[in-house]
Structure 1
Amino acid sequence: MSILIQLRTGYNYLYRHLNRIGKVQSPDCLGCARAPETAFHYLLQCPAHRGARARLRSEVGREKMTLTGLLDEEKSLTPLFDFINSTGRFKHIFGTLPPIGRDEEEEGDR
């Protein structure tokens, strides 16, 4: 869940923040080099993730395709994590993100 807090606050592993804290030279998105890599750009704009975003949109609905709709709505979280996993953008940091609720379901089975 820490990735949600990071995406919400802007203190994350996207290039805009990494550039701000002096970890990378450019804030630009490596996927498209068209804009600074922010949560908004990564989730809603970057053409490099067009296919994954189309799947996300079909799962959450057009009206939820906003930062608030994706990051704050509980029903959007599993499709959001599927999107993040399919882009591979955070795999080196977080590994594969599990669907929301899986841990609670497994604990209930014990």
Structure 2
Amino acid sequence: MFWESPRFSRFQKVAKGDATATARKFRKLTKGLRKPHTSILVHLCTGHCYLYSHLNCIGKIDTPLYPACKQEPEMVHHYLIQCPAHCGARARLRAEVGSKNMFPEKLLNDRGRLKALFQYINNTGRFINTFGVLPEMETEEEEEE
């Protein structure tokens, strides 16, 4: 029986609201975003995106290394924070959000940093084949008008 299995206790934690609180935060974060913005945000938050590490895991390519730098597996952290192929775009992102906010968890979870993040994504050109050029995200002031 399911309620006797080890998974039941994990399910209970989710059922008590942990997942609901997370979903509520995500809905608040993405409220009013256009579909491409929300989609790429979900992809980056889950790691299930068109970066070489994930494509290698699902058997679509032979190597997880990003051909532009050939240094490390191209994961979300590498793409956003480390990859030398995107140092110019990253410098602009850092100037916009500040050095203390240059962590994936801060970039992906704060509405105030999303506009700069989406501009970084456009500047790198990394997801153009999948999402095209992301339209500029409206700021809070523009949404209220």
- Alignment of 1:15 onto 2:73: no
* Bigger CA radius of gyration: 2
Match of 2:133 in 1: 96
Q: CA RMSD in A?
A: 1.7
Match of 2:115 in 1: 78
Higher helix share: 2
Find the residue that maps to 2:87 and give its secondary structure.
Answer: helix
Distance, in Å, in 2 between the alignment partners of 1:76 and 1:31 is 26
Match of 2:101 in 1: 64
Deviation at 1:99, TM superposition (A): 2.3
5+ residue gaps, structure 2, are 1-37
Match of 2:61 in 1: 24
Structure 1 stretches (4+) deviating beyond 2 angstroms?
A: 99-102
Match of 2:86 in 1: 49
Could you list the per-position Cα deviations for residues 13-63 of structure 1 after superposition, in whole angstroms to 9, with x for gaps in the alignment? 000000000000000012200000001000000001001000000000111
Match of 1:38 in 2: 75
User: Which amino acid in structure 1 is aligned with residue 109 of structure 2?
Assistant: D
User: Which amino acid in structure 2 is aligned with residue 66 of structure 1?
Assistant: F
Deviation at 1:97, TM superposition (A): 0.8
Deviation at 1:101, TM superposition (A): 2.5
5+ residue gaps, structure 1, are none
Distance, in Å, in 1 between the alignment partners of 2:68 and 2:110 is 27
Normalization by structure 2: what TM-score?
Answer: 0.69
Find the residue that maps to 2:133 and give its secondary structure.
Answer: coil
Normalization by structure 1: what TM-score?
Answer: 0.90
